[in-house]
Amino acid sequence: MKYRSWLVVPGSSEKRLGLAMGTGADVVVVDLADTVPDAARREARAMACEWLSVHRRNLLEHRQMGRWVRINALDSGLSRDDLLAVMPGAPDGIILPGATGPEAVRQLASEIYELEQANGIAANSVRIMPVAGDSPRGLFGMAQYLDTPHQRLFGLTWSVAGLGVAMGCSLLHGVEGERSDAARLVRAQTLLTAHASRTVAVDAPFERFEDDHGLARAAQQARADGFAGMFAIHPGQVATINAAFTPNGEELAQAREILALFSANPDQASLPHRGRMIDRTHLAMARQAIDAAGEGDNAAEGQRLSALLRPA
């Protein structure tokens, strides 16, 4: 599977849930948290479970699509009911807002394990991605993911909106749309921690969904910085995000050349290529480009499988 675009769909919107499978998103995230009004929570949980059960595979495009759910934070008093409602639908993963460190992942993992058994779901098949960067406390607890890794930990993400609420900020962007120092720090820490823990890093959404040019720049920058994918808050953002995270023809051509060059010279640590010297770092980047294009084992999936070998 690819993990370029993560489309967030309100669990309370039957229309948007019905359209989600045809958007081309790599992952659909059924949201039971921020986008669902209090009065609609019970209905949203029921619709989320039904959607998960029906759409085990994207039949429209004949390809796999990730089926994730964003539940409410553990301290909200709502997360347990969210899990009870959606686990019969066997989601691929759970996104946990308000996570302040690996203890939150362990707590959620324990509840998921219990519900996997109750619903006949393979043990440890449901993964977890905490929103590690949606509060100052989350930022300072992020390093703990390196010390106490968990086998369900799929990746890390952050939230501009969540961080703003936690800090009491009305705006985390400058007058020209540039993010504040605090937002840039949290974003960088999320990215670095994900890479250090060999998990997937997913960037926060670009909130001005009518600004196609701005979205393209943000998605291209996210990929250049090392994110594996990016959240989308509108179906119209999916194609742009997918394009930004997919290597172009020239990138793929160079990647194939580098792989062929090292395959022909397996004992060499560095080799000349197109007027420059390349080494094993360039070889690793070439493999990542091939994987991102779907021509090899997906790099993000490889990182996830590596994480699954760790103890709980």
Asked whether the predicted pLDDT for residue 311 surpasses 80, the reply is: no
Take residue 299 and report the two structure tokens written for it. 């790099």
Q: Say what angle helices 79-86 and 102-118 make with each other, to 10 degrees.
A: 40
CB 252 within 8 A of CB 289: yes
| Model confidence, pTM | 0.84
Cα 205–Cα 208–Cα 210 angle in degrees, nearest 5: 120
CB-CB contact of 199 with 216 (8 Å): no
Average confidence (pLDDT) over 280-305? 62
pLDDT in tens, 118-136: 999 999 999 999 999 899 9
Helix (H) or strand (E) holding 68: strand 66-70
- Model pLDDT, residue 307: 40
Q: How far is CA 92 from CA 19, 30, 68, 175, in A?
A: 19, 11, 5, 39
Contact yes or no for 158/184 (Cβ under 8 A)? no
pLDDT tens for each residue of 65-95: 899 999 999 999 999 999 999 999 999 999 9
287 — alpha (psi -120 to 50), left (phi > 0) or beta?
A: alpha
For 52, the token pair is 């998960």
CATH of 5-244, one of 3.20.20.60, 1.10.20.10, 3.40.50.2020, 3.40.50.1000: 3.20.20.60
- Name the E strands within the chain: 5-10, 27-31, 66-70, 93-96, 127-133, 155-158, 200-203, 229-232, 270-273, 276-279
Question: Taking a C-beta distance cutoff of 8 angstroms, is the pair 275, 285 a contact?
Answer: no
Per residue in 178-193, pLDDT (tens digit) is: 788 888 999 999 999 9
Residues of the chain with CATH 3.20.20.60: 5-244
